[in-house]
Structure 1
Amino acid sequence: MELIDNKFMPKLEKVDINKLYEIFNDNDVKNDFDNLLDIFYNTIDKHGDRIAIIDEDRTITYKELDEYSDRVALYLDKKNSNFRDYVIVKVHRDWKTIAIIMGILKTKRAYVPIQSDAGEERIKSIMDMTGEQEMVESSMEFPKAKKKYPRNQVSGEKCAYVIFTSGSTGKPKGVRLPHVSVAETVQTMDRLFGLNEYDRILGVSELTFDLSVFDLFGTLAAGASLVIVKDNRNLALLEERVSTNNVTFINAVPSVVKMLLEYVENTGADFNGLQSVRNIILSGDVVPHSLVIDILKDIPFVNLYISGGPTEICVWSNFYLYEEGKSKLSYVPYGCSIANKTMYVMKDGKLVDMEEGEIVSGGAGLAIDYIKDTERTNKQFKNNKKLGRLYYTGDRGILTKEGIIQICGRMDNQVKINGFRVELEEIECILNGMDEISQSISCVKKEIEGDDKLVTGIMLNQGKTIEVNEIKSRLRQHVPEYAIPSEFIFLEKLPLSANNKVDRKAFTAMVTKEVV
């Protein structure tokens, strides 16, 4: 990770810290809609005959998307006792899944995306927390509608979706987002990126990952077309979908764009097929400076945005437009707060600048809470008399002299794997619950710039044995595939600190040297 060093930190004359952050967060704008249904209906009325989704099998207009989502909405209402406040969706990368999501929202319910290959224990945990015991998916048949589904009015405060992320207790935590947070984010960012009905947006993020929220609803708000990639690990397919569909907008984690550029270069092809792309947004993980340089070299006319933000503040809280020749910084910045959202750096409850502290976010975009977890909600979301309701991100950062925030890592043991949040304690908690395992410890190993892998050390109970494949199989019942460690090391003892606590730093150092 490229961070500011002490030599880089300038000394500023003292300014009023409250005034400094007031200027930093002076970004209010007025958006037209406070909910996703009004956004959707507005687009149908304006652009009904335009293409909404370009699937690998067919194209879908906004009218067709509206009609199929009516079928889903009528089905859900008919089975009202089976589907109450939430609808769990086993997501597939196809147009029908998107129509299902819109149908759920039409009924004023919230959608809960879950991986199509999710393990039984993870499904059970999510069902327990939502109180829902049935799921829907695109392989189901929804009866043809004999009538139009009525256009419901929905409050902006109503829950739109619940995204489950990694939890340190061994159970996933569900973040509930209201309509108004999503509506504010997509309208603001569409304006920032200049998106319109002629844009084609690459749908590369998993629908269980909150970057997909912008892919879906940012597309709908602009009346643009979403180009679906069914297998986002197939680089040949990824390149083909971009070039043949004249994709103009890519929103992805850095590793995806890095692999795409490397694929084009390694296959001996030129970069002509990528020249239609006019906006790239890198977020969800640390952005290597070398990747920025490669993008601007290979796609010279692109607008390159660096963005970030936790699920709890709806996709993004900040952005930075990286311009070649103008961005003289020796690192890739986290950026400035986006319109209607606020960012602060705080230490011991006080605002600081030019000093490392915790990044705190507020304004439009905040989640409602963690579903059925009042204790965690009260810990992470707090009301400030002057600054309003705030989310404490757990990210460390610095507000620099340039008026931008530089991110410096985490305050806890949460890590990012290809943009997905993973709590190391969640992996360890599940492993330590297995009869064969006495104790475990995990860390992230950076093999190549931007390519991180989970590595776990395991100490077995005396007389017990277990195969790595069996460990992975059991983990899959609880966590998604991205949270399965790539490497396992069987240890006779775990590294300990001077006070006999498990030493994660020592294990990380050992892994860096020993794992090939």
Structure 2
Amino acid sequence: ALSRQTGSTLFMTLMAAFATLLYRYSGQSDVVIGSPIANRNRSEIEPLIGFFVNTLVLRTQLEADLSFEQLLTQVRETTLTAYEHQDVPFEQIVEALQPQRSMSHSPLFQVMFALQNTPMGDVELPGVRLSGLNANSTIAKFDLTLSMAETPLGLECEWEYNTDLFDKSTIERMASHFENLLSAIAVNPRQAVSELPLLSATERQQLLVDWNDTQVDYPQDKCIHQLFEEQVAKTPDAIAVVFEQQELTYRQLNHRANQLAHHLQTLGVKHEVMVGICVERSLEMVVGLLGILKAGGAYVPLDPSYPTERLSYMVSDAGIEVLLTQQNLLPTLPSHLAQVVCLDPDGGVIESHSPENLVSSVSADNLAYVIYTSGSTGAPKGVCVAHRSVVRLVQNTNYAQFNAEQVFLQLAPITFDASTLELWGSLLHGSKLVIFPSQVPDLDRLVDVVSQHQITCLWLTAGLFHLMVDEYLEALSPVQQLLAGGDVLSVDHVRRFRQRYPNCRLIDGYGPTENTTFTCCYEIGQTQLQQTVPIGKPIANTQVYILDPQLQPVPVGVTGELHIGGDGLARGYLNRPELTASKFIPNPFSSDKSARLYKTGDLARYLNDGNIEFLGRLDHQVKIRGFRIELGEIEAVISQHPQVSQVVAIDREDISGNQQLVAYVIAQSGAEISSTEIKDFVKEKIPSYMVPGAVICLDSLPLTPNGKVDRQALPQPDMSSMSSGDFVPPRTHTEAVLAEIWQKILKVEKISVRDNFFDLGGHSLLATQLSSQISEALNVKLPLKSLFEASTLASLAEEIDNISLALQAFQNHSVTSTATDLEEKGIL
């Protein structure tokens, strides 16, 4: 009925719906689909027996606010135009457009759609009974083919798919979503294509409700310091904090924090007042943090090693009026107007105050701390976190075990929100907290501290975890719970750790500062890991939604942006109302009008079991020569190489001013690996446009002070160092001419005949230039395919010489088969 109303055919309507499905699944607004056509548009050929079928390439451009009716109009016009040119062979179109070719997929399109709506007449032969035979194909001709047919029972669908790309459950879901889509289109064709429902009611219930059923009771109306005081009453004489040779019991820590809090209140500290704390690692650091909270204030950690300009900005932006520090740091502090309180012996001023608990009006909704994180504008932004968010992290939660038997290591800088877990996960449960003595993690010292204090609960960034597994795996024997995260965990390192310590709880923790340290956790058991380590499921009192740009939940297996809700959400960004409004949005799935979601900018997808796979950052999504690429995908592929320990992929500007991919690789301990070997491995798994232009082998990856990979500090690739082995100069005229052309195009000073064009930074765009210059210098028309098949200088020179000889033979009529050979090579 819809087709008749809009003057469209059934094929056009189904094609528009299929394009909508692909748009919703892929997030791509430019969709190209192939479709076969009988190509019998002349009456003279209708009765002829033969195969006249041609392939049409139908391009559909979708926009979020486009209604299906509008899309159908576009598809109708596109299809009618294509019908007018159906005589043009598909091969001729490919030749004219010259798309980048790959052996892994067909050119121009990788998805086919076909509708069989021509009635099949009965064939009768005397003495013979005929019946239809369904031929089952075992080889997919395209990545995905949807074949539909009109039958007396309605429309039938057959899905053919490449099993390297899809599994059966994915195709079954896709088929179900296509059916849902068609039903929704029939009901309301004026609805925007971005809003047409894909999911069934059961799927929505699973994604939005069942997998977010995380609510548990916890002391949500209590503050951090109140819970600490309750713990002091339970275990007053237990050791609370250890720093080198010093230690404080819970009672002693409480008394000292109370004295400081009384003093701070005399300076005007109360709820919502921000107090700076710029101290070295020490017992005073913990006393200071706890004292600020007891006074009702919120602590703002300031790292003494930060540049003065950055500290000055943070002090000014937070409006800090009281600053806790130490005598030896006074000369390094930026100019400010805050009242300074030195936590080391202060003439007895602090000690003169009462050690008794304070009475304050602070509530769980008041600020506990403001932590500054890097901002895209270059200036750091302060994330404001309330008491309730911290309590939700460490009280009655489900991802780790907190109790008085644990010995925590306080390793993270207090400017990094992992310290929230270490500090309050320990001190609110009667555990012993050991403060790491050095401001910057030192592996040798870390090993000593873990051994000396028999650390049982340890948080490591992914970078430190990898280093420990590589260098000091045996030193982790006391650890009973190891939480790692902050970056992507290497599957290889996880496997090695699990093999050595099968009884230690290994937990992959994921979460932005804006949701108080942890959002999702995945306990890594003995089960077989795939290509990546999942980030797991939302922790207690946390909701996670994977949504498309229109805030619609995406199906299982489909990539979307991860959004977070629940009690861990920060209040927002300090003094940044516009940024807060853009990142903390109303929660469309909650009946509570005040509920919000945080847009993480992280790409993720649900796995079949409800666990979540992290796929990278939206801002790690790059375009290289027109192709949109997820850097995380390249990293995942390279990490599958058995000799690779870690990998980071980034995009950089190459010698010609274009963006190119660069991979930085660390080999397994004791292994040797070359960039050529990595490229050869990767070429087998991903399209050529995703193969890094340079692979750089490093001994270690640079880390930020927080232990994450410092992408800005990764070295620039030196293409001259990509030369293959010993230098062999050009030996023939052709090699000499080629070397000169390569030097000019690749901007590399010395070219060996063994060098590979692509290993030196070449890519498809530069290959096109190379082909043109070869034609001009050597008078040989070289197909682009030859450059990919013969990519070393020596092999390419040999190919050119062979072509020249064949051309001469053809011109001299000395070889009869030469013309056919040259035609097949694309030279004639």
TM-score range, shorter chain: 0.7 to 0.9
After the TM superposition, which of the residue ranges 59-68 and 130-139 deviates more from structure 2? 130-139
> What aligned pairs does 1:86-125 form with structure 2 within 5 A after superposition?
86-125=274-313
User: Counterpart of 2:13?
Assistant: none
Contact 1:306–1:320 (CA under 8 A) maintained in structure 2? yes
Contact 1:201–1:215 (CA under 8 A) maintained in structure 2? yes
Contact 1:396–1:409 (CA under 8 A) maintained in structure 2? yes
Q: Does 1:357 align with 2:560?
A: yes
| 2:253 alignment partner, SS class | helix
After the TM superposition, which of the residue ranges 228-237 and 136-145 deviates more from structure 2? 136-145
For residue 532 of structure 2, the aligned residue among 331, 335, 339 is: 331
For residue 304 of structure 1, the aligned residue among 506, 511, 519 is: 506
Distance 1:449 1:233, change over 3 A: farther
Determine the C-alpha separation between the residues in 1 that align with 2:418 and 2:558.
30
For residue 277 of structure 1, the aligned residue among 468, 472, 479 is: 479
Question: Superposition RMSD on alpha carbons, in Å?
Answer: 3.5
Distance 1:368 1:480, change over 3 A: same
Contact 1:83–1:134 (CA under 8 A) maintained in structure 2? no
Contact 1:112–1:161 (CA under 8 A) maintained in structure 2? yes
For residue 238 of structure 1, the aligned residue among 426, 431, 446 is: 446
Determine the C-alpha separation between the residues in 1 that align with 2:370 and 2:520.
22
User: Counterpart of 1:172?
Assistant: 380
Q: How much has 1:300 moved relative to structure 2?
A: 2.4
Work out the number of aligned pairs and report it.
Answer: 440
Determine the C-alpha separation between the residues in 2 that align with 1:357 and 1:247.
38
Distance 1:9 1:335, change over 3 A: farther
Contact 1:82–1:132 (CA under 8 A) maintained in structure 2? no
Q: Which amino acid aligns with 2:363?
A: S
Q: Which has the higher contact order (CA 8 A, sep 6+)?
A: 1
For residue 544 of structure 2, the aligned residue among 343, 353, 366 is: 343
| 1:174 alignment partner, SS class | strand
Determine the C-alpha separation between the residues in 1 that align with 2:372 and 2:513.
9
For residue 37 of structure 1, the aligned residue among 225, 234, 239 is: 225
Q: How much has 1:484 moved relative to structure 2?
A: 9.2
Determine the C-alpha separation between the residues in 1 that align with 2:539 and 2:489.
19
Determine the C-alpha separation between the residues in 2 that align with 1:377 and 1:151.
32
Contact 2:240–2:433 (CA under 8 A) maintained in structure 1? yes
User: Counterpart of 2:788?
Assistant: none
Determine the C-alpha separation between the residues in 2 that align with 1:215 and 1:126.
24
CA deviation vs aligned residue, 1:248-283 (integer Å, no higher than 9, x gap): 111111221222233326xxxxx2x53221111111
Q: How much has 1:383 moved relative to structure 2?
A: 0.6
For residue 205 of structure 2, the aligned residue among 19, 31, 39 is: 19
Q: Does 1:486 align with 2:486?
A: no
Determine the C-alpha separation between the residues in 2 that align with 1:444 and 1:145.
61
For residue 409 of structure 1, the aligned residue among 610, 616, 640 is: 616
Q: Which amino acid aligns with 1:249?
A: C
Q: How much has 1:389 moved relative to structure 2?
A: 1.0
Determine the C-alpha separation between the residues in 2 that align with 1:336 and 1:97.
33
Instruction: Return the TM-score normalized by structure 2.
Output: 0.49
Larger Rg: 2
Determine the C-alpha separation between the residues in 1 that align with 2:232 and 2:373.
32
| 1:358 alignment partner, SS class | strand
Q: How much has 1:58 moved relative to structure 2?
A: 1.1
Determine the C-alpha separation between the residues in 1 that align with 2:359 and 2:270.
22
Determine the C-alpha separation between the residues in 1 that align with 2:293 and 2:165.
50
User: Counterpart of 1:181?
Assistant: 389
Unaligned regions of 5+ residues in structure 1, if any? 266-270, 417-423, 425-438, 451-475, 492-511
Q: How much has 1:130 moved relative to structure 2?
A: 1.0
Identity of aligned residues (%): 27
Q: Does 1:210 align with 2:417?
A: yes
Determine the C-alpha separation between the residues in 1 that align with 2:707 and 2:279.
13
Q: How much has 1:134 moved relative to structure 2?
A: 4.7
Distance 1:76 1:483, change over 3 A: farther
Contact 1:345–1:357 (CA under 8 A) maintained in structure 2? yes
User: Counterpart of 2:465?
Assistant: 257
Q: How much has 1:152 moved relative to structure 2?
A: 2.8
For residue 75 of structure 1, the aligned residue among 238, 242, 263 is: 263
Q: Does 1:397 align with 2:604?
A: yes
Contact 1:258–1:291 (CA under 8 A) maintained in structure 2? yes
Instruction: Return the TM-score normalized by structure 1.
Output: 0.77
Q: How much has 1:330 moved relative to structure 2?
A: 3.8
Contact 1:52–1:224 (CA under 8 A) maintained in structure 2? yes
Contact 2:374–2:381 (CA under 8 A) maintained in structure 1? yes
Unaligned regions of 5+ residues in structure 2, if any? 1-163, 177-199, 328-341, 622-630, 633-649, 651-656, 669-703, 719-758, 762-828
Determine the C-alpha separation between the residues in 1 that align with 2:270 and 2:395.
33
Contact 1:181–1:365 (CA under 8 A) maintained in structure 2? yes
Distance 1:237 1:480, change over 3 A: closer
Contact 1:178–1:368 (CA under 8 A) maintained in structure 2? yes
Determine the C-alpha separation between the residues in 2 that align with 1:144 and 1:237.
33
Distance 1:400 1:161, change over 3 A: same
Q: How much has 1:513 moved relative to structure 2?
A: 7.2
Determine the C-alpha separation between the residues in 2 that align with 1:331 and 1:8.
18
